[in-house]
Amino acid sequence: MLLLGRYDDVIKLRAEDNDDLWHLEKVIRPGDVVTVRTTRKVVFPSGESERKPVTITLQVEKTEFRAETGGLKILGVITAGRPEEYVQTGEHHSVEVVPGTQLSVKKEWKKHDIDRLKEAQEKKELVHIITLDDREAYVHTIRPFGPVERAHFTFASGKYYAEKAGDKYAEVVEFIKRLEGTLVVAGPGFWPDEFVKRVKEDDKTLAHKLLTIQANDVGANGVAEVIKSDEFEKMISSARTARENKLIEEFTKKLSKDMVAYGPEKVEEALDYGAGETLLVIDTVLLKDREKIEPLLEKAEQTRTDVVIVSHENPESEKLSSFGGIVVILRFSYE
């Protein structure tokens, strides 16, 4: 994310990649005003049509981030635009924001909004997790919005193929050679170590970059296990998903000790007592109940309670849903 300037309640910025677009979806909410350069289909009296470059200002009604294909769709009502002959104020319109798009956002900026923009500015090294055994291998990339599967390989197994074990990982090795960032190998038993040995035969430099962690499963379940492990937390301390999962796990543990509060009313009560240590809220809950939740976030900031907006794309967020989607971990019991 590149912040280009700020004046009053308007911030001008440029989204540089899909991670930035994901952050923007969390920041831009209904009622905010967005100005962006785009194109619009113009129909002439002759019946012919042509796409013309225009600058459009929308009062936002909805945002939609598309993790699979990339891009952020912003829907709303046109409040201004130029050239005026190509823009009809009052009409509903949508714009597609892609990496490289420059836009201005006008809103009542909250501290957690600014913190998220700052987080997006701090480009972190990509983390890739390879989970494997003797039958299959998966490659996932950890993004702010959760793990993304990049590749899946299956291997023939059995006694006949045991002698060819050194060859079956060849395709996986070729794939990870193209990846930039931290590479973590995980899986059951001795398979991660066997894979590292195989890589050493082909590329010793690459092998030295591989970090190994034990996991009981492969694929999405294996990745979830790795992300929650203390070892991974030490390796990748800046990974947002890891932080979310560790805090959700802490909430679950402290639930049985009555060292948590959940639901807007109980959370507010805990904050009034100054008992909050960390407040967790699912992003979709914040979006849906903005008028109720944002005052709680402000109160959390006033009482020095950490605020973490948990992505609904993170599977672990389901553990918070049954508690109203907003919880607070307490630093002391007040009842």
Q: How many CB atoms lie within 10 A of CB 67?
A: 14
Q: What is the pLDDT of residue 164?
A: 52
What structural domains does the chain harbor? 2-121 (2.30.30.870), 127-235 (3.30.420.60), 247-330 (3.30.1330.30)
Q: What pLDDT, in 10s, does the model give residues 300-313?
A: 878 888 888 888 87
Other beta carbons within 10 angstroms of residue 128's beta carbon come to: 21
Which residues, given as ranges, of the chain have pLDDT below 50? 163, 237-238
Any idea what DSSP says for residue 246?
H
pLDDT in tens, 173-206: 989 988 888 899 999 999 999 899 888 888 888 8
The pLDDT assigned to 138 comes to 96
Residue type, 287: L
Tokens read off for 140: 């996932």
Residue 115 · residue 240 · CB < 8 Å: no
Q: 89-122 b/e with 16+ CB inside 10 Å = b?
A: eeeebebebeeebebbbbbebeebbeebbeebee
The position carrying tokens 């109720």 is 292
Per-residue confidence (pLDDT) for residue 250, from 0 to 100 = 92
Return the number of other C-beta atoms located less than 10 Å from residue 144's C-beta. Answer: 21
Nearest Cα residue to 262 out of 278, 274, 246:
278
Taking the C-alpha atoms of residue 27 and residue 23, their distance in angstroms, rounded to an integer, is 6
Statement: the pTM of the whole predicted model exceeds 0.85: no
Cβ pair 64, 76 in contact under 8 A: no
Supply the pLDDT for residue 178.
87
**φ, ψ for residue 270, nearest 5 deg:** -65, -40
